[in-house]
Amino acid sequence: MSKWLKKVLTLKDIAQLYVEKRDQWLLLEIVASNPENQPTQFRLLAFSSDKDELHEYISEDDSWDWSKKYLMVMADPNKPCTIE
């Protein structure tokens, strides 16, 4: 199990996560946003090298909360970690 799973993460943590989970798809819940509605805190729900596995994760979870906001991103430390 990853030390990152289920923890509340900041943008700084996401930058480190991009390095540690390089070339993995990340499924993130947006936990908090600033007044401009830009995400500021996240929770890593799952990760995989196969994007389809994350789609399965979502579809197989009967308690999935569709009222929350989520991101699915590829961790690429060679690109700036910006979320707009």
Q: Which residue has the higher pLDDT, 30 or 62?
A: 30
Task: Tally the domains of the chain.
Answer: 1
**pTM metric for this prediction:** 0.85
Over residues 10-51, the pLDDT tens digits come to 989 988 999 999 999 999 999 999 999 989 999 999 999 999
Residue 81 lies in a domain: no
- State how far the Cα of 11 lies from the Cα of 34, in Å rounded to an integer: 12
Domain hosting 51: range is: 8-74
Do the domain assignments include residue 2? no
Report if residue 54 sits inside a domain.
yes
For residue 62, what are the contacts with CB-CB under 8 A and spacing of at least 6?
none
Q: Could you tell me if residue 12 is inside a domain?
A: yes
- CA-to-CA distance for 24 and 48, rounded, in angstroms? 5
